[in-house]
Structure 1
């Protein structure tokens, strides 16, 4: 009777919009027995065959088990909140429980089961999972649901009761409260992560709460497509590299779990651009192994388990060229930081490292909210030339004022760089109004976030227009002149009639950056900036020599002819900004008369290309398309 009353109370909390949703599941009210999430009973055998057939997979399996052994003497996590987040604890809980549960499924070693049970009970006893920052609840619910489901047969009834009660009370029920569930309507990674966590919770306790479980799954199917629309049309993920690794990974965790439980994904993987996003992610890594880290991205890289799901789904092992390097070369201490690492084993589909060949295309472009273009001279040469170039808008989720910015590598050096994000807590703890994106908000005073420090233009010492949008308007994959063009006019609309930037990789050897500007009826001052971690020596008015690690690159301004190259510091006057040692900005400023048209043409010439003949740089309208 008590269970019925509790269920009735929960159903009353469900908003009418959820009750009115389409019933995607239909009459199916039963699921496979436990384990039912991601890996059904008996499917361990396929993973064991993969391990036996390839040393790289055997090594990764061994690394996961070694970390399970290391966790034996580590006490369970405690509920310690930092600022507004419990997220670090949620993520560590997911990492431990995924590893230990995998260890139990694959070996049946009792110590893995008992250690995981201890973790599950400790987390279940927390006062709450911090619903005011619901990502924390999303990840913690996934962690506990996965452990409960995978360890179900080995858990005593008392532990099962405590764990499934926590999933319901601290995971699912808070998601029904409008005070905590605004993520249901967002277009960013919160939608993907939180919906995935809630579905895992619903699947784990489905036999106890079948009607509630169906409602949670149906709700997720209606909600997650809002965020998945961001991949359209080509797979470029608006939030950039790091958040692709977050939002997309949890989106794949959701789809994979649905497929196992229901035998279908209800059309999620067919959402426009979603399967194409694997190409985006692969191309976002340069020959150095570093990412194109625009917007709120870090510089850290690592194995991406979701890429194995995409490669298996598309039957294209070439999508794993970057992952192959991580699989073969990353140290165990780096690999075990990834809380979803065991999913790599689940999604391996038996692919051998020998089958992971390099991609054929040297350029990838994608439109959408944050359009990007990436081009390179080679996939196999570590000294290859690589350029990443972006359009978009500062108004996009996690975006910076970096529209028109680019990064560039050659000879295993990143010559043109992006700082990426600053740790959120370091700014929030100093009362920085970080998440206000109004034109004059404090967010844009953060040194790493505005256009002054990105590899783009600054006009009249002003910020880019937050609501401006820069589409990529032309692209050519011609090997001798790979290029992309973006119209940045809206970003500088207060000062110019036109602002267009094109970037080209010429003869797979050197890079051209060309800007074409047309002023309104007032003069302007235009600054061209490039951020670099190198030593800069000004050789003359229009040339600078950049050096790092014994390598050299020449920055040459072709036009206008009368520029004076200079450098600017990367030290910030704000006490809340992170330090930026070993970096400098190089560039120039020019006055442009009222109503005048001007062009800025800059060449970035690696040392091995210095003696090559340089082609005349045509106006953007004449660039190959």
Structure 2
């Protein structure tokens, strides 16, 4: 009774906000019986047919069941907070409950149901789900909602009541408190994840609190439209690869749940750029299997269940080429870490490995807040050249001072690399003011986050300008000269009058990086840097030989003629920085006189193209468009 009264008071307090929402659900007074989230009663049969018809899908299904068998002997999760986060426990809860609930739905084996019930009852007994860091609540509520809904008729009545009350009290109720729900007004992954969790909770307990549930669902549909504007116009996700896997996956979980419960996505799928984002994610992975890990991202890629939803929506199995590789080659340990893994089978739509053909286009570009250009020589050749360029701004969510940075790989080696993120807790625990992105903030002292260690320019040993923005000026898919050009000028305001960078994949054989600079009223010191995991041997003043894994790459500075290559360490300069073993920076510094122009041209040539003749670089204005 206390919960109902408190929720009524909160609804009254925020009644003005709620009344301002669009009433998407109208006169909806009931939903399908349980199970109603993602997978209705009887919809297990098509999944079983998929498993029976393809050995790769059968293997994935078997991996999930094997992990559930391991979980049978695990103790339930305990409420152990790390720093300001309970998120690790929430994610493990979602993984366990989703896996075990899937196993129950597919096999009807009692032990899976009882183990999931044990987990949920323990979580229901937590003092709270840490609403001060609401991602924790969002994921925990989704976990509990899936288990409650999918196992509903098998749960003991006392357990069902405890879980239902926990979803209301510890999930939905704090989302009505303005102290905790600022995520409703942000355009990043928090909005997507938290709204998805709340919507799942509302769907699970709909019959118990129909008006509250309708309000929560209407709110989620309205609020999630805000981060979905970030995909416009082409699908490039501003927060980068890893956060695509977070924000977009939960956005898809939200839409998929709406479609299943109401037969309606309420216009969300049609948001500009959203369906195009599948092309972005697919093209962000190089032949080595590593992602273009700019901003706060990890280097390694992995299976993305949401891609199967996109492929079905667009009727384009070629979007699953990278996922096919994961399904066929990844080991079980990689799969079972993915808390949304069962959704892969839910969204598989009967597609077989043989229908996942390689894409037809070798280049993808996207504009928006964080423009990128991604190009390669082949999808099927593991030795193909891959080149990615990032534009954008350091002021974007989770961004680094990496504007103008690139990654490059050939012969299965990532020659030009990015460190990506450093673990947040490792910085926060040392008192680093990590989330203040103002120009002079401590965030930019973190070695992995500033431009000194990215594959871009540093001018006068200064940081890039946080408020600077770089758009893609032009691009071309011409096979002999795939290229993209971006204007970096505002990133170096006050030091340079103009800075324009172009990268090109030339004749399907080597990479060209060209910068055209113009100084302001004073001389400028410009450093060109490339971070690499290779061993670097400088063989001439303008030429270096990089070696790794028995492969070679030649880095050659074509202009200016007086450039002298050197290397810099990647040893951490601060006690809070993570170690960076096995890496080095290679590049050069030049002095550019005041009010003058200078071009920098660098070639990155795989060994097999070393004897091929190279043309002199044309000015960027003459590059194909």
TM-score range relative to shorter protein: over 0.9
User: In the alignment, what sits opposite 1:362?
Assistant: 362
CA distance in 2: counterparts of 1:13 and 1:90, whole angstroms: 29
SS in 1 for 2:151: helix
Unmatched runs of 5 consecutive residues or more in structure 2: none
**Is residue 442 of structure 2 the alignment partner of residue 448 of structure 1?**
no
Q: Deviations over 1:582-615 (max 9, x none)?
A: 0000000000000000000000000011111212
Tell me the CA shift for residue 10 of structure 1: 3.7
Query: For 1:359-508, what aligned pairs fall within 5 Å after superposition?
Result: 359-508=359-508
Tell me the CA shift for residue 65 of structure 1: 0.6
Q: Deviations over 1:556-590 (max 9, x none)?
A: 00000011100000012201000000000000000
Contact kept, 8 Å, 2:7 with 2:173, in 1: the verdict is no
CA distance in 2: counterparts of 1:35 and 1:339, whole angstroms: 20
Tell me the CA shift for residue 12 of structure 1: 2.1
Question: Paired residues, what number?
Answer: 625
Q: TM-score, normalised by structure 1?
A: 0.99
User: In the alignment, what sits opposite 2:607?
Assistant: 607
**Is residue 332 of structure 2 the alignment partner of residue 311 of structure 1?**
no
SS in 2 for 1:579: coil
CA distance in 1: counterparts of 2:66 and 2:438, whole angstroms: 49
Query: For 1:77-476, what aligned pairs fall within 5 Å after superposition?
Result: 77-476=77-476
User: In the alignment, what sits opposite 2:624?
Assistant: 624
Q: Deviations over 1:91-119 (max 9, x none)?
A: 00000000000000000000000000000
Contact kept, 8 Å, 1:514 with 1:599, in 2: the verdict is yes
Tell me the CA shift for residue 4 of structure 1: 5.8
Tell me the CA shift for residue 2 of structure 1: 6.6
CA distance in 1: counterparts of 2:359 and 2:36, whole angstroms: 35
Contact kept, 8 Å, 1:472 with 1:486, in 2: the verdict is yes
Contact kept, 8 Å, 2:242 with 2:296, in 1: the verdict is yes
Unmatched runs of 5 consecutive residues or more in structure 1: none
Tell me the CA shift for residue 616 of structure 1: 1.9
- Closer/same/farther in 2, CA of residues 7 and 433 from structure 1, 3 Å limit: closer
SS in 2 for 1:268: coil
Q: Deviations over 1:185-244 (max 9, x none)?
A: 001000000000000000000001110011001111111011011100000000000000
SS in 1 for 2:225: helix
SS in 1 for 2:500: strand
Q: Deviations over 1:258-294 (max 9, x none)?
A: 0001101001111000000000000000000000000
Tell me the CA shift for residue 39 of structure 1: 0.2
User: In the alignment, what sits opposite 1:33?
Assistant: 33
Tell me the CA shift for residue 18 of structure 1: 2.5
CA distance in 2: counterparts of 1:10 and 1:362, whole angstroms: 53
CA distance in 1: counterparts of 2:560 and 2:13, whole angstroms: 65
SS in 2 for 1:526: strand
Contact kept, 8 Å, 1:241 with 1:281, in 2: the verdict is yes
Contact kept, 8 Å, 1:34 with 1:149, in 2: the verdict is yes
SS in 1 for 2:269: helix
CA distance in 1: counterparts of 2:324 and 2:427, whole angstroms: 36
Q: Over aligned residue pairs, what C-alpha RMSD do you find?
A: 0.9
> Mean Cα displacement is larger for which, 314-323 or 294-303?
294-303
Contact kept, 8 Å, 1:15 with 1:176, in 2: the verdict is no
Q: Deviations over 1:63-97 (max 9, x none)?
A: 11111111000010000000000000000000000
Q: Deviations over 1:515-565 (max 9, x none)?
A: 001111111000000000000011111101100111100000000001110
CA distance in 1: counterparts of 2:443 and 2:188, whole angstroms: 19
Contact kept, 8 Å, 2:90 with 2:139, in 1: the verdict is yes
